[in-house]
Amino acid sequence: MPDRSLTERIIGFAIGFVLAWIGYAIRAAILPDTATGRAVVVFAVIIVAMLIAVVTASRVPLWAMLVGSAAIVGAYEQTYAASPTLFLSDSPTAATTVLLACAMGVLGSVLLGEDVEERRADEHSNHHHSKASA
């Protein structure tokens, strides 16, 4: 997504990822494994992410933090739900898997990004040119 620098996007992703991971730690250590416990953590993660976006004047984009949070939740929620007491042993595996996949995605976008951007610009230009001549 062409919003903010790559560094700012990665920082946002990492912050959201860590916030959600801390949320799992809080759920495992303190909160009951109920819908209310989950809701409290989700609300807290979103509020903290919003505050970070506000404090940084959106230099750390909210959307990137939400994507980071969603990445670990998508990879780990089912495992966590099956056995919350195994947070310390199971969550690093989920985190490593997600971070490796995301790193490959970032590497791919860095390597291919300019080519894709040029092709999209050409497609956009050709699309407008064909409409104008029709």
Is pLDDT above 70 for 126? yes
Q: Provide the sign of the torsion angle of the four alpha carbons 76, 81, 82, 85, taken in this order.
A: positive
CB 24 within 8 A of CB 91: yes
More confident residue, 1 or 123: 123
Number of domains in the chain: 1
Tell me what the mean pLDDT of segment 91-110 comes to: 93
Residue 117 domain flag: yes
CB 61 within 8 A of CB 4: yes
Residue 77 domain flag: yes
Give the tens place of pLDDT for each residue, 45-85: 999 999 999 999 999 999 999 999 999 999 999 999 999 99
Tell me what the mean pLDDT of segment 106-134 comes to: 76
Range of the domain at 80: 6-133
Total-model pTM: 0.81
Is pLDDT above 70 for 133? no
